[in-house]
């Protein structure tokens, strides 16, 4: 059982741009609602990455306003209505661009770190 | 790849704006779903439902902030706020219907009047002619010698114009133009029309285009009587020909002669006279066919055209004037040479100069008559608008102080001052906009009324074709916004000051005295402005009365006049004279007509012709001739109109073309030119611009009569029998009647038709109607100023009522104390009324000073009363003070009825 303190401590919030990238990758896999996104983020990163619920929705809404993702209301697994987000075509292209950029950046940083480690 | 994101983004924003409630519900639902899931997950991990709920909510980082953050991403906040403010404003206006009604109504009247007057001022006084580059146009105004007679700006002979045109180098084009009323026959029906007789290059130089067919060129103006072509104006084609498609290429008769219709001008061009729209255009070479001045084109001393020039771009006016001077002098020399023995002695004529006047607004008799009245009216409407604004400012302040508690709460709960200010200003803007919309409707009505007052009919003047043109709308919008800010800003700033916060607790707001003072000042300003308007209306009203009662010098009752134009129908002199003779005889036997006579010029229409005369026994300075106006009449005229003769005799049937030439002169004529001499037996000599002079012996002296208009002192006048006057192309017939003039119209028209079916009866009206027409500008100004004065006073009364009621409400506790201590009702009443009297006195005093200061601007409009007339001012002041006392008395009475117990308990 998780201790109260564990659930109370806030994990570090992700930088906005990175958060956007992560959300887009999750949504790219299949249509999901906000709760599922936060769960999946925890799962797929082995709890390394968490986003506070208060920052999740503003980020999602921003992506929606920008036109990268689209919201549709559907019936969820437990029978209630939920807003499912899907990637739009421009969103998919943006994701590819950002992912490529991230890989380039990450590769450069890893390279630098390996140098230090010897 | 095309980026279609913007479509999606736009769609989202539109959806947010239009389906706001749904979007909000979705936001709620999304958050609720998330929280429910979270709770379920925590419960699954073993927590109790309550504990799980608490954790879930905590983890949300503040649901409301998160929601607000979501809303912020929409970037539609500003617009949403605005819509919300507007809805709020409308709701709060609906809650105070009295305030809304008064505010919107006073604004509507103020702005409507302004828009209406501005439309007319714009069209008549400001707008340029609808031609190419109107600013390049100048009117050529010569100051050299002028013989014979000139009318208005018609100061050029045809020969001088052509001479100038050949020799000048400063204009890219020089056009000559004159306007005449002509008989127009279309499909057998004859009507009167306004014709412009123009040089061939007229349309080219002005840059006017054809709507159908073609317009003149110089080739249409080469040979005398050789170009029977006519161009119709668009307005005429629409109004009186019903836009028929077959008219171009067809024929119609002008002055009895056939003309081919070759084209129609583009819409909006009505000639060069604003307010005197032209129906058709003919070339100058056709002048003798259209009007019967057979030698007019050759006479150097027939000054019958006005001449406009288009300056070459970049040429300054003074530069052009000095370059033209030698050319002009050459023409003057030729004029003098043509006068032969009648030429002036001395060299003073050589100093004549040619002035170039601004031509971009054309000429306008209407403008001349109405310029000052319209300006005065415009000033009054602005004053009225200011009064309305002051009223609303006061009302807004009252409302603001009533909502103080509400505003304090909002401020305390975190609303920014800016937001509240924004909302209050939006409210003012909504009131202003509603007022402006209602005002547009008021303006439309007012324009219709004004044009009906100003001219024969709105369409006839073709002044305001599209009422809602862009300038008017822009003007209204700017005014509305400025007004909204003007009366909204002050109360809004006042209501949101931080000092207002304590109002939350006790309900007593600090520095209410400041507000009361400000409102008192506003009311004083309103009263002052109202006094100015009421005094003005008193002055103008008296002017109108004085003019109506002015002695015309002849009997104006039961007098009908109408015009016949045999000359325009091709009659020669002898035939015209015979026609008039017969018609006069026949008229006398029409039942209802007691007597009839002739007068070539209509009475009371500013229509008398001016002449230069040789008067035996008078010699002016530098050989200047006597100047007098002429009235050409039938025998027994003076007995007919009721102007007594003080000496000598009337014209009789024995004064014919073959008998000795005679004349009768007016008293002023004798005083001016033959003082201390016996006028009877002396001769006066006049010429008709053809060189020959005719000498008439004076056989009678008549009392002065105001034949031109009722205002001016009658100028020196001389009368000639119509049998001995040079031309008889047209004349007015005057008939003294005993029945309703409308009943006589048909019999008279039938009578004339029996003599000649193609001779229309023109300008049939009673002389009383003529006087009404003459006094139209005065009536306009008087009635408008009265209306404005009443409105402004009404607004001032409302404002004063509001202030007093407010003050009394504030001092309710004090009044209660006084009454509890024994003060009688009357004392309380007197106390309040003293305050009211104070306000009224200051307001009226300021207004009196203002009126006296502004007095000199209206002096020229008045008649029979001075602008600084203390009687009128005093009456207006008394009226206003009375109104003020009454409107203050009502709340004062309520104050004195206050139950002291209730008052003391009041917070």
Q: DSSP letter string over B205-257?
A: HHT--EEEE----GGGSSSTT---EEEE-HHHHHHTTTT-TT-TT-EEEETTE
Long-range contacts of range B342-347, CB-CB < 8 Å, 24 or more positions apart? Answer: B342/B147, B342/B687, B342/B691, B342/B693, B344/B145, B344/B622, B344/B623, B345/B623, B346/B622, B346/B623
Long-range contacts of range A93-101, CB-CB < 8 Å, 24 or more positions apart? Answer: A93/B1, A94/A24, A94/A68, A95/A21, A95/A24, A95/A25, A95/A28, A95/A68, A98/A20, A98/A21, A98/A24, A99/A21, A99/A25
Q: Which residue has the tokens 């008067």?
A: B615
Q: Cβ–Cβ of B5/A90 closer than 8 Å?
A: yes
ipTM: 0.82
Distance from CA of A82 to the nearest CA of B (A): 6
Q: Which two tokens stand for residue B822?
A: 């024994």
Q: Cβ–Cβ of A57/B30 closer than 8 Å?
A: yes
Q: Cβ–Cβ of B33/A1 closer than 8 Å?
A: no
* pLDDT at residue B736 is higher than 80: yes
A57 touches chain B (CB under 8 A): yes
Pick the residue from chain A with its C-alpha nearest to B31.
A57
pLDDT value at position B311?
A: 92
CB within 8 A of B128, min separation 6: which ones? B134, B135, B360, B361
A11 touches chain B (CB under 8 A): no
- H helix intervals, B240-364: 287-290, 317-339
pLDDT value at position B2?
A: 57
Across the A/B interface, how many CB contacts are shorter than 8 Å?
Answer: 82
Least confidently predicted of B43-47, B255-259, B345-349, B381-385: B345-349
User: A96-111 as b/e, with b when 16 or more CB fall inside 10 Å?
Assistant: eebeeeeeeeeeeeee
Question: pLDDT: is B836 or B17 the higher one?
Answer: B836
Long-range contacts of range B671-678, CB-CB < 8 Å, 24 or more positions apart? Answer: B672/B626, B672/B716, B673/B615, B673/B617, B673/B618, B673/B626, B673/B628, B673/B716, B674/B615, B674/B617, B674/B618, B677/B617
**pLDDT confidence tier of residue B470, bands split at 50, 70 and 90:** low
Determine phi and psi for B888, rounding to 5 degrees: -85, -25
pLDDT value at position B500?
A: 52
Angle (CA) B109 B113 B118, round 5°:
150
Q: Which two tokens stand for residue B796?
A: 């001032």
The CA-atom distances, in angstroms, between B60 and each of B44, B54, B63, B553 are: 19, 10, 6, 98
**B38 contact residues in A (CB cutoff 8 A):** 35, 53
B410, burial (CB in 10 Å: exposed 0-12, middle 13-18, buried 19+): middle
Q: Cβ–Cβ of A57/B45 closer than 8 Å?
A: no
Q: For residues B821 and B827, give the distance between their C-alpha atoms in angstroms, rounded to a whole number.
A: 12
**A53 contact residues in B (CB cutoff 8 A):** 34, 38, 59-61, 66
**pLDDT confidence tier of residue B263, bands split at 50, 70 and 90:** very high
Helix H or strand E encompassing B905 = helix B900-905
Average pLDDT score over residue span B314-340: 85
**pLDDT confidence tier of residue B907, bands split at 50, 70 and 90:** low
**pLDDT confidence tier of residue B199, bands split at 50, 70 and 90:** very high
Confidence (pTM) = 0.67
The CA-atom distances, in angstroms, between B350 and each of B358, B429, B584, B764 are: 24, 65, 49, 46
pLDDT value at position B176?
A: 93
- Of all residues in chain B, the percent with pLDDT exceeding 90 is 15
Concatenate the DSSP letters of all residues of B419-473 into one string.
HHHHHHHHHHHHHHHHHHHHHHHHHHHHHHHHHHHHSS-HHHHT--SSTT-HHHH
Tell me which of B11, B26, B37, B39 to substitute to probe the interface with A (most A C-beta atoms closer than 10 Å).
Answer: B37
Least confidently predicted of B579-593, B752-766, B860-874: B752-766
Distance from CA of A83 to the nearest CA of B (A): 7
**B2 contact residues in A (CB cutoff 8 A):** none
B46 touches chain A (CB under 8 A): yes
Contact between B301 and B117 under an 8 Å Cβ cutoff? The reply is no
Distance from CA of A53 to the nearest CA of B (A): 5
pLDDT value at position A27?
A: 93
**B59 contact residues in A (CB cutoff 8 A):** 7, 52-54
In tens, the pLDDT along B651-667 reads 998 888 889 999 999 99
B64 touches chain A (CB under 8 A): no
Helix H or strand E encompassing A74 = strand A69-75
What sign results for the dihedral spanned by CA atoms B804, B810, B812, B817? negative
Of B30, B61, B73, the CB nearest to A54: B61
Average pLDDT score over residue span B564-584: 84
Running along chain A, 118 residues long, what does each successive block of 10 average in pLDDT? 37 65 91 90 77 84 89 89 92 90 88 84
CB atoms closer than 10 angstroms to residue B94: 9
Q: For residues B432 and B393, give the distance between their C-alpha atoms in angstroms, rounded to a whole number.
A: 12
pLDDT value at position B863?
A: 86
Q: For residues B814 and B807, give the distance between their C-alpha atoms in angstroms, rounded to a whole number.
A: 11
Q: For residues B758 and B754, give the distance between their C-alpha atoms in angstroms, rounded to a whole number.
A: 10
pLDDT value at position B148?
A: 39
Of A35, A67, A80, the CB nearest to B9: A67
B282, burial (CB in 10 Å: exposed 0-12, middle 13-18, buried 19+): buried
Tell me which of A32, A61, A94 to substitute to probe the interface with B (most B C-beta atoms closer than 10 Å).
Answer: A61
Q: For residues B494 and B517, give the distance between their C-alpha atoms in angstroms, rounded to a whole number.
A: 13
Q: Which two tokens stand for residue B891?
A: 């709340």
A7 touches chain B (CB under 8 A): yes
Of A80, A88, A90, the CB nearest to B33: A80
Q: Which residue has the tokens 């279609």?
A: B4
Q: Which two tokens stand for residue B742?
A: 């409308």
**A61 contact residues in B (CB cutoff 8 A):** 70, 73-74
C-alpha closest to that of B342 among B628, B629, B685, B682: B685
A76 touches chain B (CB under 8 A): yes
**B70 contact residues in A (CB cutoff 8 A):** 57-58, 61
Q: For residues B704 and B97, give the distance between their C-alpha atoms in angstroms, rounded to a whole number.
A: 62
Q: For residues B46 and B670, give the distance between their C-alpha atoms in angstroms, rounded to a whole number.
A: 126
CB within 8 A of B257, min separation 6: which ones? B228, B286, B289, B290, B570
CB atoms closer than 10 angstroms to residue B805: 18
* pLDDT at residue B366 is higher than 90: no
A116 touches chain B (CB under 8 A): no
Distance from CA of A58 to the nearest CA of B (A): 5
Tell me which of B59, B67, B77 to substitute to probe the interface with A (most A C-beta atoms closer than 10 Å).
Answer: B59
Helix (H, G, I), strand (E, B) or coil at B391: helix
* pLDDT at residue B686 is higher than 90: no
Q: For residues B393 and B484, give the distance between their C-alpha atoms in angstroms, rounded to a whole number.
A: 10
Q: Cβ–Cβ of A70/B8 closer than 8 Å?
A: yes
In tens, the pLDDT along B394-417 reads 777 777 776 777 777 777 777 777
Helix (H, G, I), strand (E, B) or coil at A81: strand
C-alpha closest to that of B110 among B659, B502, B635, B480: B480
Q: Cβ–Cβ of B74/A70 closer than 8 Å?
A: no
Q: For residues B22 and B32, give the distance between their C-alpha atoms in angstroms, rounded to a whole number.
A: 15
Determine phi and psi for B311, rounding to 5 degrees: -70, 140
**pLDDT confidence tier of residue B295, bands split at 50, 70 and 90:** low
Q: For residues B165 and B173, give the distance between their C-alpha atoms in angstroms, rounded to a whole number.
A: 8
Q: Cβ–Cβ of A57/B74 closer than 8 Å?
A: no
Concatenate the DSSP letters of all residues of B23-66 into one string.
HHHHHHHHHHHHHHHHHHHHHHTT--HHHHHHHHHHHTT-HHHH
Q: Cβ–Cβ of B34/A1 closer than 8 Å?
A: no
**pLDDT confidence tier of residue B454, bands split at 50, 70 and 90:** low
Q: Which residue has the tokens 């208060």?
A: A54
pLDDT value at position B456?
A: 56
CB within 8 A of B413, min separation 6: which ones? none
In tens, the pLDDT along B491-526 reads 777 666 665 554 444 444 445 666 677 778 888 888
* pLDDT at residue B559 is higher than 50: yes
Pick the residue from chain A with its C-alpha nearest to B44.
A1
B743, burial (CB in 10 Å: exposed 0-12, middle 13-18, buried 19+): exposed
Pick the residue from chain B with its C-alpha nearest to A62.
B73
Contact between B283 and B210 under an 8 Å Cβ cutoff? The reply is no
Instruction: Characterise B314 by phi-psi region: left (phi > 0), alpha (psi -120 to 50), beta (else).
Output: left
Angle (CA) B411 B413 B418, round 5°:
40
Residues 671-690 on B with a CB inside 8 Å of A are none
Average pLDDT score over residue span B25-31: 90
A5, burial (CB in 10 Å: exposed 0-12, middle 13-18, buried 19+): exposed
Instruction: Characterise B778 by phi-psi region: left (phi > 0), alpha (psi -120 to 50), beta (else).
Output: alpha
**A67 contact residues in B (CB cutoff 8 A):** 5-6, 8-9, 12
Mean pLDDT of chain B: 82
A34 touches chain B (CB under 8 A): yes
Q: Cβ–Cβ of B1/A93 closer than 8 Å?
A: yes
Pick the residue from chain A with its C-alpha nearest to B68.
A58
**A8 contact residues in B (CB cutoff 8 A):** 58
**B124 DSSP 8-state letter:** I
**B273 DSSP 8-state letter:** B
B26 touches chain A (CB under 8 A): yes
pLDDT value at position B510?
A: 45
* pLDDT at residue B794 is higher than 90: no
Q: For residues B314 and B319, give the distance between their C-alpha atoms in angstroms, rounded to a whole number.
A: 10
Q: Cβ–Cβ of A35/B34 closer than 8 Å?
A: yes
Q: Cβ–Cβ of A81/B5 closer than 8 Å?
A: no
Q: For residues B721 and B803, give the distance between their C-alpha atoms in angstroms, rounded to a whole number.
A: 71
CB within 8 A of B18, min separation 6: which ones? none
pLDDT value at position A118?
A: 64
Q: Which residue has the tokens 């009044």?
A: B815
Top mean-pLDDT range of A11-20, B24-33, B755-764: B24-33
Q: For residues B170 and A99, give the distance between their C-alpha atoms in angstroms, rounded to a whole number.
A: 76
Q: For residues B874 and B38, give the distance between their C-alpha atoms in angstroms, rounded to a whole number.
A: 84
A102 touches chain B (CB under 8 A): no
Average pLDDT score over residue span B848-865: 87
């Amino acid at each position: 059982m998780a201790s109260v303190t564990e659930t109370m401590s806030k994990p570090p919030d992700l930088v906005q741009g990175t958060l956007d990238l992560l959300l887009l990758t999750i949504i790219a896999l299949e249509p999901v609602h906000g709760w599922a996104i936060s769960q999946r983020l925890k799962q797929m990163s082995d709890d390394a990455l968490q986003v506070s619920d208060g920052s999740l929705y503003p980020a999602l809404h921003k992506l929606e306003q920008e036109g990268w993702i689209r919201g549709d209301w559907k019936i969820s697994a437990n029978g209630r209505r939920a807003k499912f987000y899907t990637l739009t075509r421009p969103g998919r292209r943006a994701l590819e661009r950002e992912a490529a950029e991230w890989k380039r950046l990450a590769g450069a940083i890893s390279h630098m770190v390996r140098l230090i480690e010897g | 790849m095309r980026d279609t994101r913007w479509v999606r983004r736009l769609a989202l924003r539109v959806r947010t704006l239009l389906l706001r409630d749904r979007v909000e519900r979705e936001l709620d639902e999304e958050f609720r779903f998330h929280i429910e899931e979270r709770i379920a997950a925590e419960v699954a991990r073993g927590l109790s439902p309550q504990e799980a709920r608490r954790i879930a909510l905590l983890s949300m980082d503040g649901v409301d902030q998160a929601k607000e953050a979501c809303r912020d991403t929409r970037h539609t906040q500003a617009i949403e706020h605005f819509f919300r403010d507007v809805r709020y404003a409308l709701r709060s206006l609906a809650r105070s219907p009295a305030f809304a009604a008064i505010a919107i109504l006073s604004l509507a009247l103020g702005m409507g009047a302004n828009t209406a007057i501005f439309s007319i001022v714009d069209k008549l006084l400001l707008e340029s002619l609808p031609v190419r580059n109107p600013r390049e146009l100048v009117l050529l105004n010569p100051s050299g010698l002028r013989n014979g007679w000139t009318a208005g700006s018609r100061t050029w002979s045809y020969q001088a114009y052509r001479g100038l045109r050949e020799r000048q180098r400063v204009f890219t084009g020089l056009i000559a133009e004159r306007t005449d009323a002509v008989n127009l026959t279309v499909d057998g029906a004859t009507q009167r029309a306004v014709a412009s007789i123009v040089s061939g290059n007229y349309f080219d130089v002005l840059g006017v285009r054809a709507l159908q067919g073609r317009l003149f060129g110089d080739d249409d103006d080469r040979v005398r009587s050789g170009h029977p072509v006519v161009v119709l104006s668009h307005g005429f084609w629409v109004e009186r020909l019903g836009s028929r498609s077959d008219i171009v290429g067809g024929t119609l008769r002008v002055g009895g002669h056939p003309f081919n219709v070759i084209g129609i001008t583009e819409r909006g061009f009505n000639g060069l006279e604003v307010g005197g729209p032209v129906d058709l255009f003919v070339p100058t070479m056709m002048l003798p066919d259209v009007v019967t001045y057979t030698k007019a084109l050759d006479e150097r001393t027939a000054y019958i055209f006005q001449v406009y020039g288009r300056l070459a771009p970049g040429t300054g006016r003074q530069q052009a004037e000095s370059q033209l001077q030698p050319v002009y002098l050459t023409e003057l020399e030729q004029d003098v040479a043509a006068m032969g023995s009648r030429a002036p002695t001395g060299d003073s004529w050589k100093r004549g100069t040619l002035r170039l006047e601004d031509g971009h607004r054309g000429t306008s008799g209407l403008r001349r008559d109405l310029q000052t009245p319209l300006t005065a009216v415009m000033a009054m409407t602005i004053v009225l608008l200011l009064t309305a604004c002051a009223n609303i400012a006061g009302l807004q302040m009252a409302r603001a102080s009533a909502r103080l508690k509400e505003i304090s709460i909002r401020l305390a709960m975190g609303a920014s001052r800016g937001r509240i200010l924004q909302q209050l200003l939006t409210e003012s803007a909504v009131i202003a906009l509603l007022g402006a919309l209602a005002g547009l409707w008021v303006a439309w009505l007012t324009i219709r009324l004004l044009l009906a007052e100003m001219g024969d009919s709105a369409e006839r003047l073709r002044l305001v074709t599209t009422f809602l043109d862009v300038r008017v709308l822009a003007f209204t919008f700017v005014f509305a916004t400025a007004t909204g800010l003007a009366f909204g800003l002050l109360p809004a700033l006042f209501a949101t000051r931080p000092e207002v916060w304590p109002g939350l607790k006790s309900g007593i707001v600090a520095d209410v005295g400041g507000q009361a003072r400000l409102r008192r000042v506003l009311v004083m300003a309103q009263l002052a402005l109202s006094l100015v308007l009421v005094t003005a209306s008193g002055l103008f009203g008296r002017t109108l009365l004085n003019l109506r009662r002015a002695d015309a010098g002849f009997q104006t009752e039961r007098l009908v006049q109408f015009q016949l134009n045999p000359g325009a129908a091709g009659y020669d002199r002898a035939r015209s004279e015979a026609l008039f003779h017969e018609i006069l005889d026949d008229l006398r036997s029409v039942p209802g007509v007691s007597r009839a006579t002739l007068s070539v010029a209509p009475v009371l229409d500013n229509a008398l012709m001016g002449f230069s005369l040789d008067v035996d026994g008078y010699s002016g300075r530098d050989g200047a001739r006597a100047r007098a106006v002429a009235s050409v009449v039938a025998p027994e005229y003076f007995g007919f109109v009721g102007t007594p003769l003080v000496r000598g005799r009337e014209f009789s049937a024995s004064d014919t073309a073959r008998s000795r030439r005679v004349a009768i002169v007016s008293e002023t004529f004798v005083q001016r030119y033959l003082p201390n001499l016996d006028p009877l037996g002396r001769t006066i000599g006049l010429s008709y611009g053809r060189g020959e002079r005719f000498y008439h012996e004076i056989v009678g002296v008549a009392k002065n009569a105001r034949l031109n208009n009722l205002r001016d002192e009658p100028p020196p006048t001389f009368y000639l029998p119509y049998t001995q006057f040079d031309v008889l192309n047209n004349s007015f017939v005057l008939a003294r009647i005993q029945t309703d003039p409308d009943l006589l119209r048909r019999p008279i028209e039938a009578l004339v038709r029996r003599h000649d079916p193609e001779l229309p009866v023109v300008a049939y009206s009673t002389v009383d109607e003529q006087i009404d027409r003459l006094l139209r500008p005065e009536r306009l100004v008087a009635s408008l100023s009265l209306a404005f004065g009443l409105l402004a006073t009404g607004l001032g009364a409302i404002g004063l009522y509001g202030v007093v009621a407010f003050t009394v409400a504030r001092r309710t506790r004090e009044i209660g104390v006084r009454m509890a201590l024994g003060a009688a009702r009357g004392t309380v009443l007197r106390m309040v009324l003293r305050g009211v009297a104070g306000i009224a006195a200051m307001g009226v005093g300021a207004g009196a000073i203002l009126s006296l200061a502004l007095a000199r601007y209206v002096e020229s409009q008045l008649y029979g009363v001075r602008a600084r007339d203390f009687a009128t001012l005093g009456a207006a002041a008394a009226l206003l003070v009375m109104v003020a006392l009454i409107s203050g008395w009502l709340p004062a009475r309520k104050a004195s009825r206050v139950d002291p117990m209730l008052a003391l308990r009041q917070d």
